[in-house]
Amino acid sequence: MVSLLNFIVNIRIFLIKTLWQRFLSSLPLDFDSVLWDYLDDVLTSFGFGGKCHSWISGCLNSAKGSVLINGSPTPEFQFHKGLKQVDPLSPFLFILVMKCLHLSFQRVMKASLFKGISSNNSLTISHLFYADDAVFVGKWNISNINTIMHVLKCFFLAFGLKINIHKSKLMGIGVCKEDVTDVASIISCVTFSSLFNYLGVKVRAAMYRINSWNEVIDKISSRLSKWKLKTLSIGGRLTLIKLVLTATPLYHMSLYKAPIGFLNHMESIRRDLFKGIDSSEKKIAWVGWEIFLSSKKNGGLGASSFYAINRGILFKWIWRKSIRGVRRVTDNHSSLKRASPWTDLVRDFIYFNHKEPSKYFNLKVFTRLSDFCDHIFITKIKVSVIMKNRESMKDMMSKFDKLTKFEGQDFRRWQKKMHFLLTTLKVVYVLSTPSLVWSENETLETTRKRMKWENDDYMCRGHILNGMSDSLFDIYQNAKSAKALWESLESKYMAEDASATKFLVSNFMNYKMVDTRPVMEQYHEMLRILG
């Protein structure tokens, strides 16, 4: 949610010069005010049966409480509304309640009573919900603000969830500060700037600067001041480094790419703690820093570097974008499904930055993903996720590894084996299917199909090149696609096989037996002609 909110604020400020003015507000909600009778109607609307109704009603009606007065509890009394926060069922019921608020905003959007934000005429955003926080985003005008207040009032009358306006915040991007203050005074909320804290992280902060990470450094320094470094053994200091010092900045590092200066400073703090000294002291290191960072499997102490941790955690967003956002992998097969809103946001932001999202996707996602991971690694991951019978697939792949390298002879035999391999990997269709050309007006479904074809074409071309000798690999490695590579091989070696066969038949038919020569000598000559 922090990444999404920070992304939206960034993209709004980026687009503010060309699009409308926006506002953003955060409104806290509450578990304890949900009306049970309306919740029952919601369950009926969502298709819950009578037995499920009775179970949920029994859980709600059985809730009782008492008050401690001077240490003595009063007689228990029964609740008549609200959801218990300690009840594991409450979050799921609260999600259904927030779903109703979501449907309400969809209706006012369809009725043109509220205008959200949209980019490239594709995804439109009007609200975001996370737990009991709600964020509303839209065009800056009085009509939009009145619509939000009216919807929230109807929501309160229906569910009993009253918004605490005094704790709500209003922000205008590209709007005069006086206008924001005037509107905030009308609806009795407070204002805040584009740089604010949410879930413990600064939104809209320049996290590529070292100064933006001072809060993390101060938090770690405050903990270090409470530890008696010189009284701890080297094993105790190593345990504190792994469990506390390394884990403290993980939340921030999972959202932002940390600058090198900050990472070096964090490594120096860990190094001094491991030695048991202050930053002003010096001491001989009895354990090399490479051994300290290496895994236990490789003879090290198992404390990974902050650089590797940061890049490894951030890599999940690339993986989610390239795998989950475009293609959802199931147990049995890989199929194109509906992309996530996060994918649409990233695609629209890239469009405004680069104007050619297809080239950017190929360069930043798939190409760099292939460079980061070995091609065999990606293939094995895809096979292990897609196929249920992993052991049989492992045996099959081991047999494929024994495929003889093509060296310019017996092309037909090698061609059939390679075609079978590509068919098993479900990428053989690219040899006969033309690629889709990117256009500005293409739909999201067309974009998914085109990106899937490009990914499969890369895999197919790699397998064909991998099955060739080094000399042929150097000749054909610059082929633009798998289809072009396959057709080049066919045009050359199929023609050579045909001409060789024609020459063989011609020599055999033109061979004449001579009576004066020995029969066995002429017989061996005919065998040499037949090869």
Helix or strand holding residue 350 (H, E): helix 341-354
Planar angle of CA 304, 286, 249, nearest 5 degrees: 25
Top pLDDT among 171 and 344 is at 171
Q: Report the relative pairing of strands 68-69 and 190-191 from DSSP bridges.
A: unpaired
Dist. CA 408–CA 405, nearest whole Å: 9
Q: Phi then psi for 270, rounded to 5 degrees?
A: -65, -40
Question: Is the model more confident about 418 or about 117?
Answer: 418
pLDDT in tens, 14-33: 333 333 444 444 445 555 66
User: What would the pLDDT profile of 107-116 be if each residue is shown by its tens digit?
Assistant: 888 888 888 7
- Cα–Cα distance measured from residue 492 to residue 398, given in angstroms and rounded to the nearest whole number: 30
- Return d(Cα 452, Cα 470) in angstroms, integer: 29
Taking CA atoms, 242 is separated from 283, 287, 490, in Å, by 21, 16, 58
d(CA 480, CA 530): 39
Say if residues 242 and 47 touch (Cβ distance below 8 Å): no
Does residue 196 or residue 464 have the better pLDDT? 464
Q: Give the model's pLDDT for residue 388.
A: 40
Position 130: which residue type? Y
305 three-state secondary structure: coil
Number of other CB atoms surrounding residue 69 within 10 Å: 8
Please compute the mean of the pLDDT values over residues 210-219 and round it to a whole number: 82
- Compute the distance between CA of residue 185 and CA of residue 191 in angstroms, rounded to an integer: 9
Residues 6+ apart with CB under 8 A from 292: 274, 300, 301, 303
User: If pLDDT is split at 50, 70 and 90, which confidence band does 316 have?
Assistant: confident
pTM, two decimals, is 0.46
The DSSP result for 465-488, as a single string, is HHTB-HHHHHHHTT-SSHHHHHHH
Query: Over the stretch 347-406, which tens digit does the pLDDT of each residue have?
Result: 555 555 554 444 444 434 444 444 444 344 444 444 444 444 444 444 444 544 457 788
Strand partners, 190: 169
Q: Are 172 and 164 in contact (CB under 8 A)?
A: no
> Measuring CA to CA, how many Å separate 122 from each of 14, 203, 278, 348?
17, 25, 55, 8
What does the alpha-carbon distance between residue 162 and residue 35 come to, in Å, rounded to a whole number? Answer: 11
Measure CA 283 to chain center: 44
- Is the predicted pLDDT of residue 79 greater than 70, yes or no? yes
d(CA 342, CA 334): 20
Alpha helices by DSSP H, 174-213: 177-187
* Strand duo 196-198 + 68-69: pairing: unpaired
- φ, ψ for residue 412 (rounded to 5)? -60, -45
Extents of the domains making up the chain: 2-203, 210-310, 326-489, 494-530
User: Which burial class, exposed, middle or buried, applies to 23 when counting CB atoms under 10 A from its CB (0-12, 13-18, 19+)?
Assistant: buried
Q: Residues 236-245: pLDDT tens digits?
A: 878 887 888 7
The distance from CA 504 to its chain's CA centroid, rounded to whole angstroms, is 59
Lowest mean pLDDT among 79-83, 171-175, 368-372: 368-372
* Distance, CA of 246 to CA of 211 (rounded, Å): 20
CA angle 433, 378, 413 (to 5 degrees): 55
- pLDDT, the chain, mean: 71
Taking the alpha carbons at both ends of the chain, their separation in whole angstroms is: 71
Question: What tens digit of pLDDT does each residue of 222-266 get?
Answer: 777 666 666 778 788 788 878 887 888 888 888 788 888 888 888
Helix 2-15 / helix 341-354 crossing angle, nearest 10 deg: 30
The pLDDT score that the predictor gives to residue 177 is 80
Structure tokens at 325: 């956002």
Please choose, from the candidates 5, 264, 289, 319, the residue with its C-alpha nearest in 3D space to the C-alpha of residue 133.
5
What pairing do the DSSP bridges indicate for beta strands 196-198 and 201-203?
Answer: antiparallel
The 3-state secondary structure of 2-13 reads HHHHHHHHHHHH
Query: DSSP assignment, residue 76?
Result: P
Query: What does the pLDDT read at residue 201?
Result: 72
Go through the chain and tell me how many residues it has.
531
